[in-house]
A and B are shown apart, each in its own frame.
Chain A
Amino acid sequence: MNIRSIVASALIFLFAASTSNAQSGQGYWQSYAERVGPKSLVVVHLENGRRVEGHIVQVSEQTLSVLPKTRIPVPVRQLAIADIQLIEIEREGWSPGAKVLVSVGSVFGLFAGIAIAMLAGSR
């Protein structure tokens, strides 16, 4: 469990404590998803052990609609609120391709810099 999971769990616990004690587990995940809001990137952990990463599209009383974050677009998934174990908020970052490109560019730049420095030093 990473720090985001812990923070998310703590927020949920506090939120649940501040609202009615009679509110069910379903209720606070629904409320949490509504608070996070549409278009937010989340990872939804399900009771069956599966996880779905995607953007929230819609929240209803019974279902959470998530557009999975995939390379090739796929249909929106309807997740039953009752099946949700945890919702983590993800941060949009660089794509893996951009990270590799920057890493490769940095390494080449470093080598080029060393080569230039060595050439300058040899004169």
Chain B
Amino acid sequence: MSSFRALFVLAVLAVPGGVLAQSLDPGAQPYRKWDVGGGMGIRFGETEDAVVPAGGWNTEVSRYWTAHVMTSFSLMTAGQTSYTGPYVVNISQHTNTGPAAYSATAGYQFFDNVFMHPYVVAGARFASHSTTTTTYSARSPFNSSSVTSPSVLEARPVVGGGFKSYFANGRAFMRSELLMAINPHGSPHAVLTIGAGVDF
């Protein structure tokens, strides 16, 4: 079911770029169609999250369908362990996230052909994780047994914005971005990302 939801979100994200590319005049302003970059992200939030790590590296590629509309795909380091309860004696449960997380977003970039573009994005972030439940014996010799569930793909909606600040050559840029992600319990996380990249 989670895989289906993930595919559905990806399909939805792929639609606006293609539709808007047809309805807007792409020749109105010059623009470069691709950019690639990387950086680091730091999460601010009260609780742990199996999909959004506390910190990590990321790399991103974006396709510009017009001077303003873009879709992006990111690959992020993950691999975190999150304790998820059930917070009762003798039983502990934690999730082990896979080594990488992914995200797909669609965005809108403001202004034309300038050296600093504010932008807004919305999309989803995905990561697969398994849950390990460990039960401890209350009697000596206090053995424990663990059961690990199969990996499941989980998604988090993300929304946010940032700035693409270009260097004098007009191709290389710094990206500063703040994204909000919400976990299934409704706890929001803010992810601050700083990175650099180049248009081509």
Contact partner of B194 (CB less than 8 A), chosen from A71, A99, A104, is A104
Write the B150-173 contact mask toward A (1 if CB under 8 angstroms, else 0).
000000000000010111101011
Tell me the minimal C-beta distance from A109 to chain B in angstroms: 14
Find out whether the CB atom of A72 lies under 8 angstroms from the CB atom of B174: no
Q: Does B147 belong to the interface (CB within 8 Å)?
A: no
Contact partner of A97 (CB less than 8 A), chosen from B114, B172, B194, is B172
Q: Which residues of B contact A (CB under 8 A)?
A: 30-32, 113-116, 163, 165-168, 170, 172-174, 176, 194, 196
Q: In the assembled complex, which residues on chain B have CB atoms less than 8 Å from the CB atom of A72?
A: 30-32, 113, 170
Q: In the assembled complex, which residues on chain A have CB atoms less than 8 Å from the CB atom of B163?
A: 96, 100
Q: In the assembled complex, which residues on chain B have CB atoms less than 8 Å from the CB atom of A100?
A: 163, 165, 174, 176
Find out whether the CB atom of A95 lies under 8 angstroms from the CB atom of B113: no
7 closest A-B pairs by beta carbon, nearest first, are A96-B165, A97-B167, A71-B170, A100-B174, A96-B116, A72-B30, A95-B168
Closest chain B residue to A72, Cβ basis: B30
Find out whether the CB atom of B114 lies under 8 angstroms from the CB atom of A70: yes
Determine chain A's interface SS by DSSP, over half rule: helix
Find out whether the CB atom of A95 lies under 8 angstroms from the CB atom of B194: no
Name the residue in A70, A98, A100, A104 with the highest tally of chain B Cβ atoms < 10 Å from its Cβ.
A100
Closest chain B residue to A53, Cβ basis: B114
**A101 with B174, Cβ < 8 A, contacts A72-B30, A95-B166, A95-B167 known:** yes
Find out whether the CB atom of A71 lies under 8 angstroms from the CB atom of B174: no
Q: Does A74 belong to the interface (CB within 8 Å)?
A: yes
Q: Which residues of A contact B (CB under 8 A)?
A: 70-72, 74, 95-101, 104
Find out whether the CB atom of A98 lies under 8 angstroms from the CB atom of B113: no
Provide the bound-state CA to CA distance between A98 and B30, in Å: 23
User: Can you list 14 contacts pairing A with B, beta carbon distance less than 8 Å?
Assistant: A71-B113, A71-B114, A72-B32, A95-B167, A95-B168, A96-B115, A96-B163, A98-B167, A98-B168, A99-B165, A100-B174, A101-B174, A104-B176, A104-B194
Provide the bound-state CA to CA distance between A96 and B168, in Å: 8
Closest chain B residue to A102, Cβ basis: B174
Q: In the assembled complex, which residues on chain B have CB atoms less than 8 Å from the CB atom of A101?
A: 174, 196
Closest chain A residue to B30, Cβ basis: A72
Closest chain A residue to B166, Cβ basis: A97
Tell me the minimal C-beta distance from B153 to chain A in angstroms: 33
Provide the bound-state CA to CA distance between A98 and B31, in Å: 21
Q: In the assembled complex, which residues on chain A have CB atoms less than 8 Å from the CB atom of B166?
A: 71, 95-97
Find out whether the CB atom of B113 lies under 8 angstroms from the CB atom of A97: no
Provide the bound-state CA to CA distance between A98 and B170, in Å: 12
Closest chain A residue to B67, Cβ basis: A72
Q: In the assembled complex, which residues on chain A have CB atoms less than 8 Å from the CB atom of B168?
A: 95, 97-98
